[in-house]
Amino acid sequence: MADLASQIRQRYLYTLEQIAVAARRAGRKPEEVRLVVVTKAQPLDVVQATIEAGVDLLGENYPEEAVEKIRSLPNAGVMWHMIGHVQSRKADLVPGYFSMLHSLDSVKLANRLERFCVEGGHQLPVLLEFNVGGEESKFGWQAGDESRWSSFLPDIEAILSLPHLEVRGLMTMPPLAEDPEISRPYFRTLRRLRDFLAQRFPAVSWDELSMGTSIDYIVAVEEGATLVRIGTAIVGPRPPRG
Ligand SMILES: *Cc1c(COP(=O)(O)O)cnc(C)c1O
């Protein structure tokens, strides 16, 4: 195995081990947590090295960049998750390429996705993105103020009525912080919001919680994450976006 692939493999195995330790510490089973390795902004050779390292689930943020990579690696035998904001006019780049969308953030996008799913004959598992940290720059429904959670219900009802989208749970990206403990209350909020929605919509499976990145994934696993999205800690620093 080439140098880069074996470095990535070491960091990948180390991260899986850390996830397993954190899961057991929290009384959970390690296999309840899936690791999405984030290759956004990484060139194709780094993506290839990541696949060679044994990674089978990759996360990408920018639809065009991602689809170009996916088309370049047709027989890679890996799964791709879209984890970044998708403008509704790019909704056609999701169904058929990605096995899950973590970042569904509007009814408008949901309606467009549904249309392309119908046209292509796809079912698309999705997570609803919530902004629990209140930052203006982040996408997702504003969920920092618990007293306003009921205001999401009409949007969610509209999304649940779309037959080709399968809602599986929630996703969040808390404010960037050096100290992982700062993320803990945000992860707890997302889990409580999940429980709130599960009560309102008991027929839907709300199992998935996509939360935690390189800095705070251990805390996220302790707080119930079923999907962690880790880039730099495994693949290395991202080149500046050109
Ligand atoms: C970039 C990104 C990640 C990965 O961040 P790292 O700090 O590289 O682990 C996870 N989730 C989303 C939504 C991202 O944009």
DSSP-assigned letters across all residues of 132-143? -S--TT--SEE-
In this prediction, residue 240 carries a pLDDT of 84
Pocket test for ligand 1, best of 12, 18, 58, 83 (most atoms within 8 A of CB): 83
Q: What's the burial of 240, exposed, middle or buried (CB within 10 Å: 0-12/13-18/19+)?
A: exposed
- Residue 101, pLDDT score: 98
CA 87 to chain centre: 16
Please check the confidence at residue 241 and state whether its pLDDT lies above 80.
no
- Give the model's pLDDT for residue 219: 98
Confidence of residue 242 (pLDDT cuts 50, 70, 90): low
Model confidence pLDDT, tens digit, residues 155-165: 999 999 999 99
Q: Across 132-181, where does the E strand assignment appear? A: 141-142, 165-172
Per the prediction, the chain carries an average pLDDT of: 97
- Give the Cα separation of 182 and 10 in Å (integer): 28
CA–CA separation, 209 and 220 (whole Å): 9
Q: Ligand 1 pocket by C-beta < 6 Å: which residues?
A: 38, 40, 61, 83-84, 173, 213-214, 229-233
Residues 72-108 pLDDT 10s: 998 899 999 999 999 999 999 999 999 999 999 999 9
Beta bridge partners of 58: 37, 80
Tokens at 219, concatenated: 């805390």
Q: Residue 137: what pLDDT?
A: 87
Identity of the amino acid at 9: R
What is the longest distance spanned by two Cα atoms in the chain? 53
Q: Report d(CA 17, CA 26) in Å as an integer.
A: 14
* Helix (H/G/I), strand (E/B), else coil: 130: strand
User: Mean pLDDT throughout 172-181?
Assistant: 96
Average pLDDT over residues 176-192: 97
As a whole number of angstroms, the distance between CA 188 and CA 183 comes to 9
The count of residues in the chain is: 242
> Residue 124: how many CB atoms within 10 A of its CB?
23
Could you report the per-residue pLDDT of 27-50, keeping only the tens digit for each? 999 999 999 999 999 999 999 999
In order of their start, the domains of the chain are 2-235 (3.20.20.10)
- In DSSP notation, 38-56 reads E-TT--HHHHHHHHHTT--
pTM: 0.97
Q: In the predicted model, what is the mean pLDDT of residues 136-157?
A: 95
Lowest mean pLDDT among 134-143, 189-198, 211-220: 134-143
Q: How far is the CA of 101 from the centre of ligand 1 (A)?
A: 14
Q: What is the pLDDT of residue 2?
A: 84
pLDDT at 9 exceeding the cut of 70: yes
- In this predicted model, which residue has the larger pLDDT, 240 or 41? 41
pLDDT at 149 over 70: yes
User: Are the C-beta atoms of residues 34 and 227 closer than 8 Å to each other?
Assistant: yes
The percent of residues above 90 in pLDDT, for the chain, comes to 95
pLDDT of residue 39: 98
Q: Which of 11, 50, 61 has the most ligand 1 atoms within 8 A of CB, as the residue to mutate?
A: 61
Ligand 1: which atom is nearest the Cα of residue 213? Answer: 9
Which of 12, 40, 127 to mutate to test ligand 1, by most ligand atoms within 8 A of the CB atom? 40
Task: Read off the pLDDT band of 1 (50, 70, 90).
Answer: confident
Q: Tokens in use for 15? A: 């991260």
Residue with tokens 């392309």: 116
For residues 159 and 165, the answer to whether their CB atoms sit within 8 Å is yes
- At residue 81, what is the residue type? H
